[in-house]
Amino acid sequence: MTLLDVTSPGNVSVVLFFGTIGMLALTIGLIVFIIFHQRKVIRYQMKLQKMEQDQQKLLLNASIRLQEEERQRIAADLHDDAGPLLATARLYLNENLVNLDKTTQLQSIYNAKQIIDDTIQLIRNISHSLMPPTLKNFGLESAVNDLFQKISGSGSMNASSRFHDYRERLQAENELIIFRVIQELVNNILKHSNASFIHLTQNTSGNKFFIRLHHDGRGITQNDFIKLNKSNVGLGLKNIQSRLKVLHGKIFFEKDMSQTYYKVTIELVKEEGDKLQEQE
Amino acid sequence: MLVVIYLAYFAEILPISFYLIFLKRNRGEGLWVIFLYCVLSLLTEGLFVLIQQQLVFSGFIIVQFGLFSYYFYSTFRQKNFRYIALLGSAVFCVVAIANFSNERFTWIAESLTSILIIIYCILSLYEQIKDPETVFVYRNKKFWVTIALFIYFSSTLFLYLFSTTLSREQRHMYWAINNFFEILKNILFSVSFIIIKDHSTPATMEYIDN
């Protein structure tokens, strides 16, 4: 005997009616829920997509602005320094044409030579700031050591670096990007942190490549970094972010475990090209 | 009441016609199973009018379950769901073999079919909303087939469950429920055969926000 068999005939109609209505309501409810839920998910996905696009736009703007600033700096260097130097050298050389006195001629040629030497040095400096020759010829480790030696040499801050596992160089363009990121970070520390030391370490773990920077000044945390990245200020940080995006890298800003130092960690995944270079 | 019965018969021709008209856009979707079901359903009605044997309906219930199980088995993407479809078929086979000579076979088989198909429909809908390729679920042919079966079997479940306890007059009266949802099911099948498969990606669906 089943439950259905014991249902009295009078109640059958009621159970059948409400059962069918109930099942139908449940089914339609479920279908409507699915449709609305899916629309909600799509809206959410599109919102995320839009946020990502806005972020990309911000990064792109920052990168363009930085490029323009760099161009302006080079233009100013050439116009304000190289231009007057060369004009002065021209004046000295012109003097030779009008002045027939041998001693004066020699003096003006010597002065012109001095000025041309200065100009050569200036152009070399501009060229080095665009592409450090140490980085090109000897790699990231040497370039970073060179940079840190210069900072230490200035006497304003104690800067040291240690590369634990950098026997094989990364691809040249990747090294340049990492170097620029380090330069930007160091520049920020010098400008804003009031730190007395910077220490950089490099490590690898599996196919991951880490660079850590410690300093004892005022720093930022990951939350500050995210906020600055979303705002219109913090051009340098946006530049770091866009450079690391090219390498599919990550950056973390945090306070040290001891809460005394600020730590910046750059995490990169070694690409196929880097691995091939290692094998060669 | 007679109008509803005739309409129900007429509605069975709709999905068959639309499948044949839009044959090209219904290829490769597993919809031929639904088309075959519609054809068999129509033939069964005709055959029953001719020979008036309950065996015709008993046989049709088995074929119907077999076709729907195959449809869901072939459209499920997750392995677990496929196993559930296989398990459901095994349960149905055992119950069908054990009760085939039973005079209440139609009641048992039809109720079990309803319960199992409702479960498959829920699994299929779950899979469809989880599918990242699906932008709008209702632009998918599979969605319309699933809701057609879902609405039909959930609405007629109680009718089949109580069919043995109903008197002849009551059964005749309540059979309108079956006819009504039969019409709805065939309309939804037709929608599934008519619509063009959605190829859009979420990026092109910007108007949803407006």
Which residue type sits at B164? T
Of all residues in chain A, what percent carry a pLDDT higher than 70? 92
**What is the DSSP track for chain A?**
--HHHHS-HHHHHHHHHHHHHHHHHHHHHHHHHHHHHHHHHHHHHHHHHHHHHHHHHHHHHHHHHHHHHHHHHHHHIIIIIIHHHHHHHHHHHHHHHH---HHHHHHHHHHHHHHHHHHHHHHHHHHHHHS-HHHHHH-HHHHHHHHHHHHHHHTS-EEEEEESS-SS---HHHHHHHHHHHHHHHHHIIIII--SEEEEEEEEETTEEEEEEEESS----HHHHHHHHHSS--HHHHHHHHHHHHTT-EEEEEE-TTSSSEEEEEEEEPPHHHHHHHH-
- Residue A5's pLDDT is what? 52
In degrees and rounded to multiples of 5, residue A253 shows phi and psi of -110, 125
Least Cα distance to B194 among B14, B19, B10, B12 occurs for B19
Q: Is the pLDDT of residue A2 over 70?
A: no
Q: What is the pLDDT of residue B204?
A: 45
* DSSP strand pairing (A197-205 vs A250-255): unpaired
| A16 contacts B159? CB cut-off 8 A | yes
Q: How far is A7 from chain B (nearest CA, A)?
A: 8
**A4 occurs within a structural domain:** no
Chain A to chain B, count of Cβ pairs less than 8 Å apart? 79
Q: What CATH number should be reported for the domain holding residue A189?
A: 3.30.565.10
Confidence grade of residue A106 (pLDDT, cut at 50, 70, 90): confident
Residue A42 lies in a domain: yes
On the question of pLDDT at A277 being above 60, the answer is no
A97 & A183 share domain? no
Q: Among A101, A130, A159, which residue terminates a domain?
A: A130
Chain B nearest CA to A56, separation (Å)? 16
CA closest to B181 among chain A residues: A24
**Which one, of B134, B141, B145, B135, lies nearest residue B194 by Cα?**
B141
Q: Are A23 and B155 in contact (CB under 8 A)?
A: yes
Q: Are residues A105 and A240 in the same domain?
A: no
The answer on pLDDT for A256 being more than 70 is yes
> A190-232: per-residue pLDDT in tens?
888 888 999 999 998 888 889 999 998 888 888 888 888 877 7
Asked whether residue A5 is assigned to any structural domain, the reply reads no
- The reply to whether A138 and A273 lie within a common domain is yes
- Of A84, A111, A130, which residue sits at a domain end? A130
- Residue A159's DSSP bridge partners are A198
Q: Residue A3: inside a domain, yes or no?
A: no
Residues A28 and A113 in one domain: no
The string of pLDDT tens digits covering residues B137-175 is 888 889 999 999 999 999 998 888 888 787 778 778 888
- Does residue A6 lie within any of the structural domains? no
Q: Residue A124's closest CA among A81, A173, A69?
A: A81
Same-domain check for residues A229 and A146 = yes
Instruction: Kindly report, residue by residue over B34-92, the tens digit of the pLDDT.
Output: 999 999 998 888 887 777 777 788 888 889 999 999 999 999 988 999 999 999 999 99
Number of domains making up chain A: 3
Pair A80, A30 in one domain: no
Q: Do A183 and A148 fall into the same domain?
A: yes
Residue A126 has pLDDT above 90, yes or no: no
Q: Are residues A17 and A138 in the same domain?
A: no
Q: Does residue A64 belong to the interface with chain B, where contact is any CB pair within 8 Å?
A: no
Q: Say whether B136 and A38 touch across the interface (CB within 8 A).
A: yes
Same domain flag for A152 and A180: yes
> Region A79-97: what's the mean pLDDT?
85
Which residue in B144, B140, B174 sits closest to B158, CA to CA? B174
For position B199, what pLDDT does the model report? 60
pLDDT number for residue B201: 52
Residue-number span of the structural domain to which A247 is assigned:
133-279
A154 and A274, same structural domain? Answer: yes
pLDDT band at residue A273 using 50, 70 and 90 as cut-offs: low
Structural domain contains residue A237: yes
pTM of the predicted protein model: 0.62
Confidence band, pLDDT 50/70/90 cuts, at residue B206: very low
Q: At what angle do helices A9-76 and A235-246 cross, to 10 degrees?
A: 110
Based on C-alpha coordinates, what's the Rg of chain B?
Answer: 18
φ, ψ of residue B197 in degrees (nearest 5): -60, 135
Are A275 and A235 members of one domain? yes
Q: How many CB atoms lie within 10 A of CB A257?
A: 8
Lowest mean pLDDT among A62-71, B11-20, B94-103: B94-103
Position A198 scores a pLDDT of: 92
Domain's final residue, options A43, A58, A73: A58
Rounded to two decimals, the ipTM of the complex is 0.77
Q: Is residue A7 part of a domain?
A: no
Residue A165 lies in a domain: yes
Whether residue A72 has pLDDT greater than 60: yes
A49 touching B (Cβ < 8 Å): yes
The answer on A87 and A46 residing in a single domain is no
Q: Partners of A254 in the beta sheet?
A: A263
